[in-house]
Amino acid sequence: MTDPFVTPAEPSAAEAIAAIGEELEVFDDWMDRYQYIIELGRKLPPFPEDWANDAHRVPGCQSKVWMEAARDGDVLRLAGASDAAIVSGLVALLLRVYSGRSPAEIVATDPVFLKDLGLLEALSTNRGNGIAAMARAIREAAQSQLG
């Protein structure tokens, strides 16, 4: 089985956010940005079929979104998937920022970057609420590791 967990290229959440911002700035309009985000989703590692269940489902998302978090030494590795193309891309963005980071770094990284990058304004209200629910689920998983 291929590793379903995302290993980001950037060494920190802040550097991942900065890189995503630079990548999105390349595009002049939101249609091109959406296409780019959809492509990111297509590059997600395959999510195991047997994880696409209610136990892994993120509540508060209109589309189906599944996530898994696993502790790996000092870091939390994350896997995710969605049944919707654009949402898969948003999952990919979140995992690039949060996966492979320490629980403390995850909790300290406020998802306000989604607003700063203009993503929340560009999305429908339901998708905006969904991505906020995904970020919350990731940060709650990290918080539970800090105990």
Q: Kindly report the CATH number that applies to the domain delimited by 13-146.
A: 3.90.1010.10
Higher pLDDT: 129 or 6? It is 6
Q: Which of 17, 20, 61, 75 is catalytic?
A: 61
User: Is residue 112 flagged as an active site residue?
Assistant: no
Residue-range domain boundaries for the chain: 13-146
Under DSSP, is residue 46 helix (H, G, I), strand (E, B) or coil?
A: coil
Under DSSP, is residue 143 helix (H, G, I), strand (E, B) or coil?
A: helix
Q: In Å, how far are 41, 57, 138 from 46, measured between CA atoms? A: 10, 16, 19
The amino acid sitting at 104 is: A
pLDDT per residue over 39-91, tens digit each? 999 999 999 999 999 999 999 878 899 999 999 999 999 999 999 999 999 99
Give the β-pairing of 75-82 and 65-72.
antiparallel
Q: What is the pTM of this model?
A: 0.94
The per-residue DSSP string of 43-97 comes to TSPPPPGGG-SGGGBPTT-SS-EEEEEEEETTEEEEEEEESSHHHHHHHHHHHHH
Higher pLDDT: 1 or 125? It is 125
> What percent of the chain lies above the pLDDT cut of 70?
99
Q: Can you read off the two tokens belonging to residue 6? A: 């995302």
What confidence score (pLDDT) does residue 147 get?
67
pLDDT per residue over 90-99, tens digit each? 999 999 999 9
